[in-house]
Chain A
């Protein structure tokens, strides 16, 4: 029995000793690695910082404008090219035809939306009818 206890004790001592040594060694190794990663992070942060400055430099509006003129066929947006969702006819699909002024069915054509500063729809429509007294002609006409 004593022998068994001694062997077990010896075994446990060796195990714990080796375990402790291994843990302490591992901690040391991880700490070294940690410091290394820390300094790598710092280096990365620094390059991110430099790249951010470069990104901002590359995003200089003057350069973007030059590049867009060179490679894109886009231009400054015109006022007329902007429309809001409210400008769309609500039930465009429902209208296959409409009744015109003379009570006849004609194909439905959506009326173009007015240019800013232009005449309103009905005035423009009136101006199209030759026989009717033209409001537009009296007020100076469309531009």
Chain B
């Protein structure tokens, strides 16, 4: 019953009414229903239209003005670039194509090999045939083809030969940075130098690696060191330029060098980094450290005198002077005449413990800290006897790397603060550790200047830049014995001495005298002029203004008394 009523209600029919009324009612219901349905459709359409307009015409508040694709791909090389301090590219990855074979597809290995040899004649025929008949899906035939080679191989049309896109490490400056940058193997793994030290960082590739090296300075240094090495027929040479306030290595060279694209073809000697891995007795250069320790500990003043009248005999050794003065010498005179006897006496005054303490602080007794894997530890005497104290005072019996010497001299001239050496570009001076007082540093600056104006470093003088330095010539140790005519000639200098900014070191390995040097191969004759030439070239590049020698502030900064009473202007 109720179902029948429900069905009537559903149709909007009312059976109790008359036929006319029922008909009118039915029409009305139908119209209402159509109206409601239509209204719903209109609402729906309006909604969709609004959505459409909103999505395509109206601007949402958070919508960017320019559309940005989420899938924007940046060119990412396998390894990051390495750039110098001015952003010049030193190492980068370039795309190349390598040739491989799918040996399963190769039809006639012998014929294919012969065809391939017409294009790549330096491949080995037997190996090639063996590879092509190996039935392997992947065999390398030749890595890193040139575009022409690739084109020629491709036009041979040999089935089974394919190309694999690869990246190859390229050093646009070739040999110039070979020791600092190092090199990579064929699979782009860093295996020497900065490439190895920063292998992980370079792989992650968060922008280029900025080194502290400066291409222009590096070239000037390398060229001058190379020309000195050729002139004096040296077997090797090393050169370093360091910023004394930040410890940044601005240039570093070791000769002979090698082509980083073909490191395997270079002899082991060329791959040996003489500036950081080679340890050498530095000779008289150590007298600067010795004097600094004496002045710092207060066992000597600039006016102290030491007996250098005759060779110093101890046990079975005898310490003598190369340029013997045979008289009592003041501290400045000991440096100017490079007196071994005087230095040894100075060292005896402050003793072996103080010597070890300060040399340790200067970093001479530990492996130098620098971001390179090729780092040589010093050869330290053990036990440290009295005789060692005496010989180390003039640089014999303790072998260190040239890098340590440059770091040590930076510490002396920059006001006495030691900062770790680095090849990474620094943002200001890093925290350092005080080794010498400001006063000692100032006195040493004057003494170093005096060596160039009065002493063995005269040939390094460059008008206007006020070099100060020290020569050091030592006989080379070969199998534990000194060889008389095989020397290491080192000159280390800082400039400008009234306010030192940079330290330059040049070491020549086994230089031979020439006619121009009257047969001498000591540091004052062979290394000092090279340092002078380097400074002439790099000072303008590094923004150092030449100054007038008579300027009162320079006179004041550099004046020193050679002997009490004998006033001497070191600035002349």
- Chain A residues packing against B (C-beta within 8 Å): 5, 12, 16, 19-20, 23, 34, 38, 42, 45-46, 49-50, 52-57, 59-62, 65, 76-77, 79, 82, 84, 114-120
Contacts and interface: CB of A to CB of B under 8 A. Distances in A.
Nearest to A59: B88
In the A-B complex, the 7 residue pairs with the smallest Cβ-Cβ separation, listed nearest first, are A116-B464, A61-B219, A56-B89, A57-B172, A56-B172, A45-B75, A79-B464
Contact of B176 (A34, A60, A114): A60
Contacts of B56: 23
B549 interface: yes
Contact of B77 (A19, A49, A79, A120): A49
A79 B77 CA distance: 44
Given A117-B572, A120-B550, A61 B75 contact: no
Interface string B537-548: 100100001111
Contact of A53 (B73, B89, B465): B89
A14 B116 CA distance: 65
Interface in B354-407: none
Contacts of A114: 548, 550
B184 to A, nearest CB: 15
Interface size class for chain B?
A: 35 or more
Contacts of B547: 116
Interface in B96-132: none
A23 B509 CA distance: 77
A23 B57 CA distance: 12
A77 B216 CA distance: 15
Contacts of A12: 45
A60 B75 contact: no
B533 to A, nearest CB: 10
Interface in B28-42: 38
27 contacts: A19-B52, A38-B72, A42-B73, A42-B75, A45-B74, A46-B75, A52-B92, A53-B89, A54-B172, A56-B88, A56-B89, A56-B90, A56-B92, A56-B172, A57-B172, A60-B172, A60-B173, A60-B176, A61-B176, A61-B216, A62-B219, A79-B464, A79-B536, A82-B546, A114-B550, A115-B463, A116-B546
B71 interface: yes
Given A53-B170, A61-B216, A79 B546 contact: yes
Interface string B71-92: 1111101000000000011101
Given A117-B549, A118-B549, 10 more contacts: A16-B45, A19-B52, A38-B72, A42-B73, A53-B92, A56-B172, A57-B172, A62-B219, A76-B536, A117-B463
B479 to A, nearest CB: 39
Interface in B448-473: 462-465
A45 to B, nearest CB: 4
B246 interface: no
A143 B142 CA distance: 66
A22 B223 CA distance: 68
Nearest to B49: A16
Contacts of A119: 550
Contacts of B545: 82, 84
Given A34-B69, A53-B94, A79 B462 contact: yes
A46 B95 contact: yes
A65 to B, nearest CB: 8
Nearest to B549: A117
B127 to A, nearest CB: 32
